[in-house]
Structure 1
Amino acid sequence: MTPEEQSKQAETVPVTPKEVELRVTELAQALSKELGLARGQIERTIALLDEGNTIPFISRYRKEVTGSLDEVQIQAIADRALALRTLFERKVDVRRLIEAQGKLTAELATAIDAATTLQEVEDLYLPYRPKRKTRASVAREKGLAPLAEIILQQPELVGDVDAIVEEYASPYLNAEKGIDTSLEAYAGACDIVAEVIAEDADVRGNVRASFFKRAMVGAKVADPEKVTEKDPNGVYQLYYEFQENVMKLVPHRVLALNRAEREEVLRVSVSLAYEQARQDITARYPIKASSPFAQYLVAAMEDGYKRLLAPAMEREVRAELTRKAEEHAIAIFAANLRNLLLQPPLRGRKVLGIDPGFRTGCKLAVIDETGKFIESDTLYLFQAEKAQQILRDLIKRYDITVIAIGNG
């Protein structure tokens, strides 16, 4: 059933004012299960973040509020809180936009509320998103939507197929609208069907899953005549004739392919044959072989996949591959930098590091000659005798000869 048909058969659902903002308590409850932290900790941390406090400030100077959460945990809370708030706000916005068109049904509202990712929300909104003129919109303007609905429903009729097809097309023939033959009528109706199928949220979800599992990433030289000019040293020669499954493609190859494409050396593609995705579509739109209109549904299905759905999935897969590859590159860089920073500061010398602090105490750490962590402690300046004893014990126990003091 098309979105137009659904809107005629169901009452619209208003967006109530209380649904416009996600409460911190609800946010904290969701994040508590996800991150394995106490709800109170998360609520207080979100409150500090909402006040504009930075993560380093919170982790260092608001330990008593957060329950001693470290920077990594606070960053995780900040990231997930932002993601959930963005998702919630987009749900509200999508519901409002669809309601403004008078097409928000109870079923659709429930589906939007149940969506767990932005992509799911966008898939549900896609059929209602204002579009530039498309082949389907032109066909709708010509009044071919009812014929498209017949193709989708595939009534099983007995009789001469050609005669039945001509009979159902005849009411839509209109020379003024440029529909002179039944072939032209069915061509326009198939354009509508192709768009309906390509914008169906269930179909997109199934095809997306298949793309991320079975699609092939391929690359070939963009212009054979200019390849020596664009890639004089043959840096990308390995990828001149390249093809690999999307799940096996390692991050550094993704980045290399992206660079080669930016430098106009290669043309990169992500593809999944229609035959491999066909079942994902027919699961939602089964073909009735006995229907005179089955041939049109089959044609529209393939056209919708190749012309509309596959290109959209290719963009999504490439964007996701790039995101993961960049995150992996950053993680590798961070690990290398960490190893560099954790090199022993003074070869052959044990070092006592002191991070000054009054209210939360001075943090102490001892490392050995190789830079390996040995022990840590905390002393408070307002407990002078105890602080001196802690320092003397550490210096004597580990034979400390170098003390490094931070700038506070």
Structure 2
Amino acid sequence: MVDSIIEPIAEQLHIRPAQVKQTLALLEEGNTVPFIARYRKEMTKGLDEEAIRVIQEQYDYQVNLAKRKEDVLRLIEQQGKLTDEIRSDVAACDKLSQVEDIYRPYQQKRKTRATDAVAKGLQPLAEWLLNLPMHGNVEKEALKYISDLVPATAEAIQGAKDIIAEKVSDDPKVREKIRRSVENYGRIVTKAKKNHADEQRVYKMYYDYAERVSTLATHRIMAIDRAEKEKVITVSFDYDKEYQLEWCYRRYTHKRPSIADPYIREAVEDGLKRLAFPGVERAVRNELSEKAHASSIEVFSMNLERLLLQPPMKNKMILGLDPAYRTGCKLAVIDETGKMLEISVIYPHKPINKQAEAKAITLKLLQKYPIDIIAIGNGTASRESEAFIAELIQENHLSVSYTMVSEAGASVYSASKLARDEFPDLQVEQRSAVSIARRIQDPLAELIKIDPQSIGVGQYQHDLPVSQLSSRLDFVVSKAVNRVGVNINTASVELLKNVSGLNQSTAKSIVSYRNEHGRITDRKEIKKISKIGAKSFEQSAGFLRIEDGKEILDRTGIHPESYALAKAILSRLSLNTADMGTSKAVEVMKEIKVQELASALNSDPYTVADILQAIAAPLRDYREQYDGPLLRSDVLTLEDLKIGDEMEGVVRNVVDFGAFVDIGLKDDGLIHVSKMSKKRISHPSDIVSIGDIVKVWVCNIDEEKHKVQLSLLPLH
């Protein structure tokens, strides 16, 4: 591995080059990111999954960059035009786009005005003009190039100017100068098109808008891109083009008087206005869009991770309610294991309005089963359904609570082959009610069944590059599954295939083995399952949990390779496996010096610390650190609110400009980023995450638009 590639990655992540080197070596050996992050901390010095992912991506980029630099130098050398200056300029590039700018003058071009002029033999005339002759006559010089292909001096001179114009446009120094001007001092300007189709005035802000390119927020870039795509606005850049023209003119004339001066000025102006300005502006727009895409993908992945890691409502019987108007609200009762017990449908809303019957059916279910929580999907008719349930609870003095559940992607799952296989006798909407109920009982196990891109917790997600988004979200799913771990005896194929070292095929093998042999009783037995070899076992074993098995360590995140060390630690602390998770074990932990214990046992502090944590809390769920669902028993309307009211709500989505919070109204309220902290913050995710239960204050109510603005800061 080349140090010139490793050093920039280490610098970017503020870590030592040795950590990058070790991580890359582990990846090269076929280890997965979750396995390295959890079980090879001593080698990476504790790098987490995100850092390992960045190392992997940056390494691939740096390798591609180095290869492209070699290719460009070789191609220029083949033309006999490679100089020490070009070699030095290429070596200094840290972006592929910079390398391409240097190569631009030397690459094979499609037919252009300049290539046409070169083909007609006008290159020497262009070079004569660029040599800045002080004496002579340009038209007389041009007579030398008259031929069947060039019938007039005017055409010869124009051809020479076309060659100069393209040379100017291809000049990497010129392009870099324009780029810096646009990025550092330019403004992006948007104007509404005549007769555009923005009837809802969604893009009203951009009908007449200008902002410095350097301050343009990524969500505004996405909005501008979409408005332009929908033909609502035109987009242009405003920067000092006259200064660029003069600078470029001086670059090619060196302030020397010449008879070629007016021709060079015309060629420079043409090269910039016709070629360089539009080309660089396109490149800047592309880079802005790429930056916005990267930011949106980051926001989406961060939100998805928190959604997947919502704490499960274990051992609860749930009534799932999928709201609708005309087709009725579907009800599904699931038991503590997620098994569906009963399905029904009610019509409490318009146009059918069978309120009394709906209440009777729902009440009967609540009396028949010991329902702990009612889970209401937050889609169409959700708030009317919430009001219906709240009224039912109040009228009958029921001890049950309800919560609103994001139903993003529920319809996608309900119509999928997976759902049809699971519930072949149910209709699509009925499956959706079961999914909504299961989403609070075990969010990870249920949401894993849905294509991550269908879970709408991002911004402008439909405008993002599909492959990049898909790759990033798959990584998030894998990270979440492995952080939590899975019960090998109950996990679905969809859950198992995301475990480190497993895939669709090996996940199916595990389920087939369970079906044929019954419960798996210890981790050693995993080796007997077909298609699971030594590497697959090594990578997956620590993440596959076995509850109530032969070996108590199998229920923890301790890897089998460390069982001997774990038992040595227990012995040294005068504990046994039966003491794991007891107050006795927790008390003993308080006195331990991890570094000393690791040295005494010839181990490392990272592995020892993880083992100690597992001894203290063998069944600890990683998700316990986050807020559970907010349970309610009453409903709220806009009329109930006044400025200054203190509320409690659940963060439903985090975007670049703020966070949307469910406080019990039909539409989520917005906390703008400016209302989140008295200090300057780089992104709303610094303060809140999806699923957080937050205390907020009402700071503005727009009754006409039914919108509420909230603040995390008290108003007084």
Please say if residues 63 and 69 of structure 1, whose CA atoms lie closer than 8 Å, have aligned partners that are also in contact: yes
Structure 1 residue aligned with 2:582: 392
Calculate the TM-score normalised by the size of structure 1: 0.75
Shift of 1:236: 1.3
In the other structure, the counterpart of 1:170 is 143
Cα deviation for residue 392 of structure 1 reads 2.7
Give the Cα–Cα distance (whole angstroms) in 1 for the partners of residues 260 and 228 of structure 2: 43
Checking the alignment, whether the CA contact within 8 Å between 1:151 and 1:297 is kept in structure 2 is: yes
Q: What is the aligned length? A: 351
Instruction: Give matches, 1:295-314, under 5 Å.
Output: 295-314=262-281
Report which stretch shifted further, 103-112 or 317-326: 103-112
Gaps of 5+ in 1: 1-22, 158-162, 347-352, 363-378
Q: 1:282 to 1:387 in 2, by over 3 A?
A: farther
Q: Could you tell me whether the CA contact under 8 Å between 1:112 and 1:121 is conserved in 2? A: yes
Q: CA deviation at 1:401?
A: 12
Q: Deviations over 1:198-218 (max 9, x none)?
A: 111111111111111222212
Aligned counterpart for 2:248 among listed residues 247, 266, 281? 281
Higher RCO (CA < 8 A, seq sep 6+) = 1
TM-score by length of 2: 0.45
Structure 1 residue 264 corresponds to structure 2 residue 231: yes
Distance 1:236 1:355 in 2: 52
> Contact conserved, 1:358 with 1:380, CA < 8 A, in 2?
no
Aligned to 1:94: 72
SS of equivalent residue, structure 1 residue 217:
strand
CA apart distance, 1:255: 0.7
Residue in structure 2 matched with residue 356 of structure 1 by the alignment: 557
Q: Quote how far apart the aligned CAs of 1:336 are.
A: 4.9
Contact 1:61 1:360 (C-alpha < 8 Å) held by counterparts: no
- The answer to whether residue 252 in structure 2 is matched with residue 252 in structure 1 is no
- Write the distance in 1 (CA, Å) between the matches of 2:306 and 2:30: 32
Q: Which residue of 1 aligns with 2:92?
A: 114
Is the Cα–Cα contact under 8 Å of residues 231 and 265 in structure 1 kept in the other structure?
A: yes
Q: Is this contact kept in 2: 1:271–1:310, CA < 8 A? A: no
Q: Is the 8 A contact 1:274 1:302 kept in 2?
A: no
On the 8 A contact 1:154/1:288 being kept in 2, the answer is no
Q: More helix per residue: 1 or 2?
A: 1
1:259-291 deviation line (CA, Å, top 9, x unaligned): 112222223233434213224424532453621
Secondary structure, counterpart of 1:247 in structure 2: helix
The answer as to whether partners of 1:190 and 1:300 remain within 8 angstroms in 2 is yes
Structure 1 residue 138 displacement after superposition: 0.9
* Aligned partner of 1:216 among 161, 181, 187: 187
Residue range with higher mean Cα deviation, 261-270 or 299-308: 261-270
Provide the residue aligned with 1:155 in structure 2: 133
**2:170 aligned to which of 191, 199, 210:** 199
CA contact (8 A) 1:164 1:292 kept: yes
Q: Is the CA contact (8 Å cut-off) linking 1:169 and 1:186 kept in structure 2?
A: yes
Provide the C-alpha distance between the structure 2 equivalents of 1:37 and 1:243, rounded to a whole number of angstroms: 40
Q: 1:281 to 1:51 in 2, by over 3 A?
A: farther
Equivalent pair of 1:380/1:387 in contact (CA under 8 Å) = no
CA RMSD after TM alignment: 3.3
> Cα offset for 1:340?
6.0
What whole-Å deviation, never above 9, does each CA across 1:283-332 have from its counterpart, x for those lacking one?
Answer: 53245362111111111111101111011111111111112222333444
Give the stretch that moved more between structures: 36-45 or 183-192.
Answer: 36-45
Q: Give the distance between the partners of 2:220 and 2:622, measured in 1 at CA.
A: 42
1:2-151 equivalence runs, <5 A: 23-151=1-129
1:122: how far off? 0.7
- Counterparts of 1:394 and 1:189 in 2: how far apart (Å)? 89
| Structure 2: runs of 5 or more not aligned | 314-483, 485-554, 588-615, 624-716
Answer whether contact 1:143 1:172 (CA < 8 A) is retained.
Answer: yes
1:345 and 1:395 map into 2 onto residues whose CA distance is 26
Partners of 1:287 and 1:298 within 8 A in 2: no
Greater shift, 206-215 or 127-136, is seen at: 206-215
- CA separation of 1:277/1:168 partners in 2, compared to 1, >3 Å: closer, same or farther? same
Find the residue that maps to 1:73 and give its secondary structure: helix
Q: Percent identity?
A: 38
